[in-house]
Structure 1
Amino acid sequence: DPTSASPPPELPKPPRPPALPDAPGVAGPAAGVAASRRSPLPAGSLGRLSETSPSRRQLAVLEAMQHSWKAYELYAWGKDEVHPLSKSSAVWMGAGLTLIDSLDTLMIMGMSQQVAKAREWVATQLNFDVDKPHTNVFETTIRLLGGLLSAYHLSNDSIYLDRALQLGERLLPAFSSPSGLPYSDINLHTGQASNPVWTVESSTSEVSSVQLELRELSRLTGRPEFADAADRISRVLHSADKKDGLVPIYVNSVTGRLHNGGTVSLGAARYYEYLIKQFVQAGKSRSFEYLRDDWLAAMDGVAKHLVRESQPHRFKFVGELLGGTTFSPKMDHLHLRLAEQLMRTCYITYTTTATGLAPEITHFNTDAASVADTYVKPLDRHNIQRPETVESLFYMWRVTGDRKYQDWGWAIFQAFEKYTKVQPAGYVSISDVTNARNPGKRTKCESFWFAETL
C-alpha cells in the first residue's frame, strides 16, 4: 500500500550465483570498489561451465564487454562513439562519451587495467570547454554527468566528482528559461542555451528526466543550485494540466505548458520513471510525496487509457493516444515496466523475429480476426542495442527470484552475440531484425550498449 505510513516489507532476495572457479575478475554490482581492482578473466574461459550456469553466463557477458571495449580502444579512444564495422570513430559531444558512460560497467566487471587507463584520460584529457552550439542538455546530463557520478560512487575517487562538478557548472545556464524547464541545447563553451530555432517546444521526456543527476550533484558537493534547478522542473510539471496523470510528448519550455491534444505515450516518457525514482532518491521524504502521488495517478491513467490486449493471443501491451484521444496500438522499445504480463509481451517482441532481437517499434493487432498478434513496419525493423527490456528483466528477476527472467535475458544476449558481433572487435546495431540471413549490420555502436545493455 503506497499510501501507508509504515515501510513496505523487504522483497526476498534471490539466491546469488555460485562463486566462479578461477575467476577473480567477475563480481556483482555490490562488489563496488573491490571489483575495480581485480583482473578480468582471460578470454576463452567458458568451456569449463555449462551453458545454463549463471557463472558461465556472467563470463560470456564479461567477454562481450572485453570484445566491445577492444574496439573502442582500437578505433575511438577518447572519442564519443566507436564505429566497429568501419574501424572509425564519431564526435557527438566532444567529451569522450562512450568512455565516461562505460566507467561503471568497467568497474563492476572488474576490468581494472581498462579502468586505470580510462581514469588517466579523465584526469588529463577530459575537457568540457567544447564550442558546439547544439549540445543536447538531456543526453549530456544522463550520460556524461550520470556516468561521472556513477564512477565516483563505485570508486570514491575524487577526480570523477571534480569533473562532474565542472560539467554541472557548465550545464546550469540551460536551466535559466522563464519557466525553469531546461532548454534543449547548450554551448558548453559560451553557456548560450536555446531550443532549436524552429520551435519553442521541448520533449517532455527530456526536460523531465535530469533531476536525479542534478540532485545527487548537490548532495555530494553541498552546492544547492543544482537541486534548486531540479526542484523547479518537478514543481512546474506537477502543476501542469494533465489527463489522468498522463502527459503529452511535448511541452513549451518557455511557458511550462504541456502540449495538450498532442500524442500521449510511454514510448519515450522517462517523465514517469523519474517521478518514482526521485521519491525514492529523496528517502521517501514527505516533501517529495507529491512526486509519488503524481506517479500513482499516472499509473492509473496508463491502466485506464493505454493498456490493451492483442489478438488472437491476448498479449498485454501499452499503446498511444494520438491527439490525446485516438488509441494507436503501437509500443516503443523503451521503459515498459508494468509487471509480468507486459514483461512477457516485451520478450515476445524479441522471440517473434527471425533474429531473436526486437525491432525499434512493434505494432499490435487488436482485431478479433487477426492471425498474428504483432507486425513490424519496414522503417521500424532496426535494433540499436537498447537496454530497456533487459533492464526490466533484471528488475523482474530481483523482485520475483523467478529464473525464467534470467533465461530470457540469456536468450536475448545470445541473439546479440549471433547477429551484432563483429571481428576483430566490437558489436554494432542492425537494420532488419526480420532478416536472419542478412540483418544489415550498421557501423555504429551506441554508448548505452556498454553502459547499460551489457
Structure 2
Amino acid sequence: MRLQKQALQGVVRGSLILEMGALSKMTGDPIYESVALRALRKLWSMQSSLKLFGTTLDVETGQWIEYSSGIGAGVDSFYEYLLKAHILFGKEDFWKMFHSAYVAVQKYFRHGPWYHEADMRTGKATYWQLTSLQAFWPGLQVLIGDVSAANSSHREFFHVWKRYGVLPERYLLDHQMIHPTEKYYPLRPELAESTFYLYQATKDPWYIEVGESIVNSLNLYTKVEGGFASIKDVTTMQLEDHQHSFFLAETCKYLYLLFDDSFVHENNYIFTTEGHPLPVLGTWHEELPEAYVPTNWTFVKRQPRVSRISAMSLQVCPALNLKSGQHIESACHIPDARSDFRCLTDEDCGVDATTCRRRSCSMAGYCGLWLII
C-alpha cells in the first residue's frame, strides 16, 4: 500500500505526460501518451471550485486527503507539465488548463513576491512558508513571459540563500525563521534552474553573479572527497552522507548551462521536471496560438526578441492602447505605494498585474488579494 501511495503521489506531481508523450511520438505507439493523458485529465477533473489542487490522494477512495495547496511539494510538477506539454506538443487544451490554473495560483497564493499555501476549498491561507521546491516557479514564469514577477520572487529566494549560505528546505515567513525540523539542504536544483531561465530571458549579468555565488557555496559547504554531500542543518552546516541523483541531473546541469548555453541554442529543447532535455520538434505539435508569446529561445520558431510585456497578463487583462516596444507588465497594473508591499490602508495598494483586481491591505500590513468576492 505504501508503494501504491507513493506512485499515485508521483502522478499528482507530474502525470508523466512529457515523458510518455515523447515516447509515443518516438515509437509511433499512442498507448503511452494515452495513459498519461488519462491520468492528467482525471487529476484536472478533481480541481476545487476555486480551480486549486491538493497534494495527496487516497489511493483507495480517490479523494484528496490534504487540502492545503500551494506551488511546492506534491503539486509543483503538475503545474510545470501543463505548460511544458503545451510547448512540447502544441495542444491548445494544455495551454487553457495551465492558464486557468496559473490565474488561480496568482489569485489565492501570491503575497507580494512570495507564495503562501491555502485551503483548496476556501482559498483561506493555511501555511505562510517558503519551501525550497517553490524556487522552480520563477523559471516557469519566464516561460510564459512574466519576467518581472519571476525576477521579484527569485530575488527573495536568493536573499534567503545569501542569509544562510544555502536554501533551507522550509522557512517560516510569518516568524522569519527556519522550520525547526526541516533545516536541511539536500542539494536541490530549483534556485539554479530559475537563475538559468532568468539569465536566458534577460541576459542580465547579475544572474551570472547569482550562479557564481551558488557554485561558491556548494564548493565551500558541501564538497567532500569523491563528491558533494547534503547539508543536515543549515544553521551549523553539518553534513550527511547522501547525494541525491538530482544533484548531477539538475543542479550541476543548470549551473553548467548558465555559464555555457551553447547547447540550448544549437537546438530547441524543453526540460523535464528531472532536468532531462526533450527536443521540441515541429512534427510533434500544431501551430502555436498567436496569443502565446515565447520568451526567446526554447520554442520551435526562433523569433526576434519581443518587448517585455507579460504574455499571461495580456491574456487576463484588457490590453488597451499598447504600442510596439512598450515596456509594461500589464495594461491594468498599478504598483503598490511601497516596493516592499507593506501598507497602512487600502489606499497604499495598487491593482494586481495578473487578475486586474484591486489589492487591499491585510491585518498584517501587506497588500494582497485578500477580499475576493
TM-score category by the smaller chain? Answer: 0.5 to 0.7
Contact 1:204–1:271, Cα closer than 8 Å, also in 2: no
Rounded Cα–Cα distance in structure 2 between residues aligned with 1:231 and 1:322: 26
**Aligned pair partner of 2:56 in 250, 255, 266:** 250
1:139-158 equivalences in 2 (<5 Å):
none
1:293 is aligned to 96
**Aligned pair partner of 2:242 in 444, 448, 454:** 444
CA offset at residue 208 of structure 1? 3.4
1:271-310 equivalences in 2 (<5 Å):
271-282=78-89, 284=90, 288-309=91-112
Residue 231 of structure 2 corresponds to residue 430 of structure 1: yes
**Aligned pair partner of 2:154 in 343, 361, 374:** 343
When normalised by structure 1's length, the TM-score is 0.49
| Partner SS, residue 331 of structure 1 | strand
What letter corresponds to residue 251 of structure 2 in structure 1? T
Rounded Cα–Cα distance in structure 2 between residues aligned with 1:391 and 1:233: 27
1:53 is aligned to none
Structure 1 residues 378, 241: closer, same or farther in 2, change over 3 A? closer
Aligned length: 236
What letter corresponds to residue 27 of structure 2 in structure 1? T
Contact 2:12–2:56, Cα closer than 8 Å, also in 1: no
Q: Deviations over 1:275-321 (max 9, x none)?
A: 00111110x2xxx3222112111211111111114xxxxxx211111
CA offset at residue 245 of structure 1? 2.6
Structure 1 residues 407, 429: closer, same or farther in 2, change over 3 A? same
2:42 is aligned to 236
**Aligned pair partner of 1:364 in 160, 167, 173:** 173
Structure 1 residues 195, 403: closer, same or farther in 2, change over 3 A? same
Contact 2:15–2:36, Cα closer than 8 Å, also in 1: no
Rounded Cα–Cα distance in structure 1 between residues aligned with 2:183 and 2:50: 33
Structure 1 residues 389, 402: closer, same or farther in 2, change over 3 A? same
1:313 is aligned to none
Q: Deviations over 1:414-452 (max 9, x none)?
A: 0010010112x21100112122xxx11110111111111
Structure 1 residues 264, 204: closer, same or farther in 2, change over 3 A? farther
Structure 1 residues 224, 299: closer, same or farther in 2, change over 3 A? same
**Aligned pair partner of 2:129 in 303, 316, 330:** 330
Contact 1:350–1:357, Cα closer than 8 Å, also in 2: yes
Q: Deviations over 1:171-199 (max 9, x none)?
A: xxxxxxxxxxxxx84xxxxxxxx447xxx
Rounded Cα–Cα distance in structure 2 between residues aligned with 1:422 and 1:332: 26
What letter corresponds to residue 274 of structure 1 in structure 2? Y
Rounded Cα–Cα distance in structure 2 between residues aligned with 1:253 and 1:208: 16
Q: Deviations over 1:319-342 (max 9, x none)?
A: 111575333211211122241111
Rounded Cα–Cα distance in structure 2 between residues aligned with 1:254 and 1:290: 29
CA offset at residue 252 of structure 1? 4.2
CA offset at residue 393 of structure 1? 0.5
1:377 is aligned to 179
Structure 1 residues 296, 236: closer, same or farther in 2, change over 3 A? same
1:318 is aligned to 115
Structure 1 residues 307, 223: closer, same or farther in 2, change over 3 A? same
1:381-400 equivalences in 2 (<5 Å):
381-400=183-202
Which structure would you say has the larger Rg?
A: 1
Rounded Cα–Cα distance in structure 2 between residues aligned with 1:236 and 1:364: 34
Q: Deviations over 1:199-226 (max 9, x none)?
A: xx94276453311111111111112211
Contact 2:48–2:120, Cα closer than 8 Å, also in 1: no
What letter corresponds to residue 239 of structure 1 in structure 2? S
Structure 1 residues 344, 243: closer, same or farther in 2, change over 3 A? farther
Contact 1:246–1:298, Cα closer than 8 Å, also in 2: yes
Rounded Cα–Cα distance in structure 2 between residues aligned with 1:206 and 1:410: 34
Rounded Cα–Cα distance in structure 1 between residues aligned with 2:189 and 2:239: 18
1:214 is aligned to 20
Structure 1 residues 390, 378: closer, same or farther in 2, change over 3 A? same
4+ residue stretches of structure 1 with deviation over 6 A? none
Contact 2:116–2:125, Cα closer than 8 Å, also in 1: no
1:93-132 equivalences in 2 (<5 Å):
none
Contact 1:319–1:329, Cα closer than 8 Å, also in 2: yes
Structure 1 residues 321, 218: closer, same or farther in 2, change over 3 A? same
Rounded Cα–Cα distance in structure 1 between residues aligned with 2:190 and 2:210: 14
Structure 1 residues 330, 388: closer, same or farther in 2, change over 3 A? same
CA offset at residue 256 of structure 1? 4.9
Percent identity reads: 26
| Partner SS, residue 430 of structure 1 | strand
1:147 is aligned to none
